[in-house]
Chain A
Amino acid sequence: MTMQARHLSIAYGSNQVLSQVSLTLHPSRTTGLVGRSGCGKSTLAKAMTGIIPAPQETLFHNDQIFFPDLSKTGNIIHYMWQDPLAALSPFLSALDLICEPLKAIHKLPKAERQRQARDLLNMVGLNATCSVKRPHQLSGGQCQRVALARALAVKPRFLVLDEPLSALDLVTQEQITSLLRKVRAEMNMGLLIISHDLQTLAKLADDIAVMDGGRIVEHKETHEFFAAPEHQLSRRFVEISKYSAPAAALN
């Protein structure tokens, strides 16, 4: 049960955004993806999830060629957008947004999907008052949590989170980090987390990949990455995040 990108290259005209990128996601395992802005992290994630087209025979699911189709493969690999407000329909309440996948993918009856949607909202720390509100009536952090609850409602095998904690306060970040660990274990879900925050990745990721100029320049187990970063950019990241001793953070 893996999801792989093999030698994935994407160019827009003369602009080579991804160049021979290979990355494997495993179930119950979290991969962190770091890199400078514009290095191709989101493009890689969007290509793997079918939001932007990827060249044929570059994506593999369980070693079979995988054709990501936004409408059909969202329950296999699911992308959670960086800007939650833009990714949530302004016409629907938080509860209705979470009910969408429960109805369309899991075909649950109305009462059951509403119960599950409320449970998911509770799980991400939102109360009943928030459930009837529309995205523009919620704060950035609340929208982020609604988006996460909806992604969890899909129950995908692999979940790609693009800067999932950026709009959250420290306490909520901690809650969501715990929640992600929990769902990864309980739902046997593979996670790909794109983040600039190495502290978060130190707590969550089993392995970390560093991207630079459309290539993965280093990919290591988290403790190895923090102990002995090889690439110049990785060393700089570790230095800046002051995580020369990751064991403390991991504990």
Chain B
Amino acid sequence: MAYVDSAKSIPLSRATQLLRGRTTFFLGGLFLCFFIVLAIGGEAFAPNPPNQIDLLHRLSAPNLTYPLGTDHLGRCILSRLMTGTALSLGTALTTAGLILAIALPVGLLSALCKGWVDAVLMRIADIFLAFPMLVFALAIIGYLGASLTSAVIGVALAWWPSLARLVRTLTLEAASKEYVLASRQCGQKPLSIIGRHILPQILPPLLVVLSLEMAGLLLVLSSLSFLGLGAQPPAAEWGAMLNEARPFFAERPSVVLAPGIVIILAVLSFNLVGEGIRFQLDKRRPYRW
């Protein structure tokens, strides 16, 4: 009887999981699409020029001309948030791409070459991992000079080792599959094995991790801009907007809250999409009914 009860409970939990997975992905996707549209057409849709200074209306409350009010220089906050989407998301995407560009070859080489190549690459990764990532990024930015490019390079150099270790682990597992060995036996060259058999196995879980990392990257880059080490004024980057608005929080909280909420929404959308993809991929595993 207990067996029957537990069997009955499975479809319900599965249905709940399905609903949760699809809803998560749908919500995340919706937010992300919204941000992509803003990133593409933000400047065209913006009600005011983002860098137009209007000192007569500085720190004004939301009104018809300035729907989210103005900052300390009288610039339209909504327009700056909209036009800053491309810069903020673009920076996070570029950083993620750079991290992948370093981590993927390092992880693949390490797993496939093994021996001393693996030992050397992983020890280098260990050395990088020994430093707190943000401190390491700050050190690189300090060396290169404060700018958005330095922030992207600094974050990418501090973040690649953990992803490289993941790529290595995934590749080791993928390369030991019988069909990969069988393909090697059929004379396939290493690059062909990587392209045809290993990348299709490791990319889906990597994309999930990256989409979840995107949220973290967005926060770190915003934090760096907030500290004045990333995007420099007058660039309409969300973190930089927070930094500029900081002294005026008590006078007009919306100047800080607006970019803060947008960052939270963007982080949330990446997290939801990542979680949704993870769920979809899990569902395909044969041992899940």
A interface residues with partner B (beta carbon < 8 Å)? 49, 51, 70-71, 74-75, 78-79, 81, 83, 86-92, 100-101, 104-105, 147, 150, 153-154
In the bound assembly, the distance between CA atoms of A70 and B180 in angstroms comes to 11
Given the complex, which residues of B lie within 8 Å of A101, measured CB to CB?
Answer: 186-187
Given the complex, which residues of A lie within 8 Å of B186, measured CB to CB?
Answer: 74, 100-101, 104-105, 150, 153-154
In the bound assembly, the distance between CA atoms of A7 and B22 in angstroms comes to 59
Minimum C-beta distance from B175 to chain A (A): 11
Contact, CB under 8 Å: B179 / A70: no
**Known: A70-B181, A86-B177, A87-B179. Is A92-B196 also a contact (CB below 8 A)?**
yes
Closest to B193 in A: A71
Closest to A99 in B: B186
- For B178, B179, B188, the residue with the greatest tally of chain A CB atoms inside 10 Å of its CB is B179
Q: A71-B184, A81-B178, A88-B182 are in contact. List 18 more A-B contacts (CB 8 A).
A: A51-B185, A71-B185, A71-B187, A71-B188, A71-B190, A74-B184, A86-B177, A87-B181, A89-B183, A89-B197, A91-B200, A101-B186, A101-B187, A104-B188, A105-B186, A105-B187, A153-B186, A154-B187
In the bound assembly, the distance between CA atoms of A89 and B178 in angstroms comes to 9
Contact, CB under 8 Å: A75 / B187: yes
Q: Which of A51, A104, A147, A154 contacts B192 (CB 8 A)?
A: A104
**Known: A91-B197, A92-B196. Is A86-B179 also a contact (CB below 8 A)?**
yes
In the bound assembly, the distance between CA atoms of A88 and B190 in angstroms comes to 17
Closest to B201 in A: A91
B interface residues with partner A (beta carbon < 8 Å)? 177-190, 192, 196-197, 200
In the bound assembly, the distance between CA atoms of A78 and B180 in angstroms comes to 14
Minimum C-beta distance from B287 to chain A (A): 14
Given the complex, which residues of A lie within 8 Å of B185, measured CB to CB?
Answer: 49, 51, 70-71, 74, 78-79, 154
- CB pairs A–B below 8 angstroms (15 shown): A51-B181, A70-B184, A79-B185, A83-B178, A86-B177, A86-B179, A87-B181, A88-B179, A91-B196, A100-B186, A101-B187, A104-B189, A105-B187, A150-B182, A150-B186
Given the complex, which residues of A lie within 8 Å of B180, measured CB to CB?
Answer: 89
Closest to B179 in A: A89
Minimum C-beta distance from A219 to chain B (A): 26
Contact, CB under 8 Å: B187 / A104: yes
In the bound assembly, the distance between CA atoms of A100 and B181 in angstroms comes to 13
Chain B contact surface mostly: helix
Closest to B197 in A: A89
Minimum C-beta distance from B186 to chain A (A): 4
Closest to A100 in B: B186
**Known: A92-B196, A104-B192. Is A87-B187 also a contact (CB below 8 A)?**
no
**Once A and B bind, how many residue pairs between them come within 8 Å at the CB atom?**
60
Minimum C-beta distance from B285 to chain A (A): 12
Minimum C-beta distance from A108 to chain B (A): 12
Given the complex, which residues of A lie within 8 Å of B192, measured CB to CB?
Answer: 104
Contact, CB under 8 Å: A81 / B184: no
Given the complex, which residues of B lie within 8 Å of A100, measured CB to CB?
Answer: 183, 186-188
Given the complex, which residues of A lie within 8 Å of B179, measured CB to CB?
Answer: 86-90
Given the complex, which residues of B lie within 8 Å of A87, measured CB to CB?
Answer: 178-179, 181-182
Given the complex, which residues of A lie within 8 Å of B188, measured CB to CB?
Answer: 71, 100, 104
Closest to A89 in B: B179
- For A87, A92, A105, A153, the residue with the greatest tally of chain B CB atoms inside 10 Å of its CB is A87
Contact, CB under 8 Å: A81 / B182: yes
Minimum C-beta distance from B116 to chain A (A): 18
Minimum C-beta distance from B205 to chain A (A): 15
Q: Which 4 A-B pairs have the closest CB atoms?
A: A104-B187, A74-B185, A101-B186, A105-B187
Minimum C-beta distance from A3 to chain B (A): 15
Given the complex, which residues of B lie within 8 Å of A70, measured CB to CB?
Answer: 181, 184-185
In the bound assembly, the distance between CA atoms of A70 and B175 in angstroms comes to 13
Minimum C-beta distance from A211 to chain B (A): 22
Closest to A74 in B: B185
Minimum C-beta distance from B18 to chain A (A): 22
Given the complex, which residues of B lie within 8 Å of A83, measured CB to CB?
Answer: 178
Given the complex, which residues of B lie within 8 Å of A147, measured CB to CB?
Answer: 182
Contact, CB under 8 Å: B197 / A74: no
Minimum C-beta distance from B115 to chain A (A): 14
- For B180, B181, B184, B189, the residue with the greatest tally of chain A CB atoms inside 10 Å of its CB is B181
Given the complex, which residues of A lie within 8 Å of B200, measured CB to CB?
Answer: 91
Given the complex, which residues of A lie within 8 Å of B183, measured CB to CB?
Answer: 89, 100
Given the complex, which residues of B lie within 8 Å of A150, measured CB to CB?
Answer: 182, 186
Minimum C-beta distance from A119 to chain B (A): 17
Closest to B189 in A: A104
In the bound assembly, the distance between CA atoms of A86 and B184 in angstroms comes to 14
In the bound assembly, the distance between CA atoms of A150 and B179 in angstroms comes to 12
In the bound assembly, the distance between CA atoms of A67 and B188 in angstroms comes to 18
